[in-house]
Amino acid sequence: MGLWGMTPVAVADDMRPKQWYLDAMHADELWKVTTGEGIKVVVIDSGVNPSIPSLKGRILKGLDTTETEGEETDDYSGHGTTMAELIAGAGHGKGLQGLAPGVKIVPMRVSNADYQKNRRVNGQDVAEAIRAAADSDAQIISMSMGSDYSSMEERAAVKYAHKKGKLFFAAAGNNAEQGNKPQYPAAYDDVVGVASADNKGTVSHYSQHGDNVDLAAPGDDIPGWCDETFAKYCGGDGGTSSATAIASASAALIWSAHPDWTANQVLRTMIDTAGRDWAKGTRSVYLGHGLIRPGQIILDKKGDPGAPDVSPLTNEKTGGDIPANGTPTSSAPASSQAPQGKPDSGAIVAGSSSKSMDHSGLPGWVLGAIAAAVVIGGGAFAAVRKRRSA
């Protein structure tokens, strides 16, 4: 289930002031360098409505794999459209402003638990969507959905996408206080699991944690469409869903600015420059390698891309050495050791700090991970049939 708040926000309201992280991340400065042009992002979700003002002209042909009525442009919940808008929205019509407004979105519609209640759906819709994304010319896959259950088909599809050179972000999940069970695809080795943080850089109380978390991004207090009617936005927490979209948009900006890099190199620089107060090469169970800071790479020219064909998640050689410009690169020796993968062979810590980041890193967005340990709530964990929006 999603974490959208129940407080309606009038569509007539301008959403930009409610997107606190854009100013914190110095989006206006980033856009002077790149808006993500030349990058395509596959959004695997409930569908994407291409008719809202903020997304007009930004949605490409995708695929519906549910085998039900409707197409990939028929968003049955509003969730997928929100994710697409957070990535690539123009902010037109006072809508959501995307962090990477020059990006094109390729929608892949799959089912969530609610959609499955009264329908017969394709049980392998996510695996098929991932494979279709892998075969597309999109560079990034963003999936703000998750399931408690892994499958051989889905795992194989993720491996296939990784070999095809895709950079795959997925939500860590919003059930830290209701069982904290690992979510898939975020928990797969070749997927970047994204946690949620608030405007102080503190892990969100609901954000799931463990060795499946690789990076963290803003997720608290981010508005989104209330439902499939697209009549109004709702205020509240976007959760790890929004964090995943924002992480994907950050990667798109970086890749657009460095089109000769591969997915491995884009991700390695994101990990290398992530905001943290624990040792590099170790991970917080709450924020992974730390808080995303695309400005460090795009504006301050920091971050070591390293080898094009070594995964920073697994530290293994990959076949995914295709850069955004499509011109294969020759293998180069890594100029720095790739961070350890999942599960982490280094220490897994829970850091805290009150230090502020520099201008390209999120001024006002505090570096620390958590002020105190998250207490896991007791009681039985309610399993869903399949997957939920994160």
Taking the C-alpha atoms of residue 314 and residue 338, their distance in angstroms, rounded to an integer, is 9
Q: Which of 26, 46, 75, 79 is catalytic?
A: 79
Measuring CA to CA, how many Å separate 212 from each of 7, 127, 216?
Answer: 32, 19, 12
Is the bond leading into 101 cis (omega within 30 degrees of zero)?
Answer: no
> In terms of Cα–Cα distance, which of 291, 86, 292 is closest to 202?
291
Can you give the C-alpha Rg of the chain in angstroms?
A: 19
Does the annotation mark 45 as catalytic?
yes
Taking the C-alpha atoms of residue 31 and residue 14, their distance in angstroms, rounded to an integer, is 20
Does the annotation mark 359 as catalytic?
no
Q: Which of 54, 142, 241, 242 is catalytic?
A: 241
Does the annotation mark 209 as catalytic?
no
Q: What is the DSSP string of 49-68?
A: -TTSGGGTT-B---EE-S-S
Exposed / middle / buried, residue 93 (Cβ in 10 Å: 0-12, 13-18, 19+): middle
Q: How far apart are the first and last CA of the chain?
A: 7
Q: What is the DSSP string of 245-309?
A: HHHHHHHHHHHHH-TT--HHHHHHHHHHT-B-SS-TT-EETTTBT-B--HHHHHTS-------TT
Measuring CA to CA, how many Å separate 16 from each of 236, 238, 343?
Answer: 15, 15, 38
With both helix axes pointing from N to C terminus, report the angle between 263-272 and 239-257 in degrees, rounded to the nearest 10: 110
Taking the C-alpha atoms of residue 5 and residue 324, their distance in angstroms, rounded to an integer, is 37
Taking the C-alpha atoms of residue 143 and residue 214, their distance in angstroms, rounded to an integer, is 15
Q: Which of 26, 45, 242, 289 is catalytic?
A: 45
- Please, are residues 24 and 364 in contact by the beta-carbon 8 Å criterion? yes
Taking the C-alpha atoms of residue 367 and residue 347, their distance in angstroms, rounded to an integer, is 19
Taking the C-alpha atoms of residue 158 and residue 168, their distance in angstroms, rounded to an integer, is 8
- Any idea which residues carry the catalytic annotation? 45, 79, 241
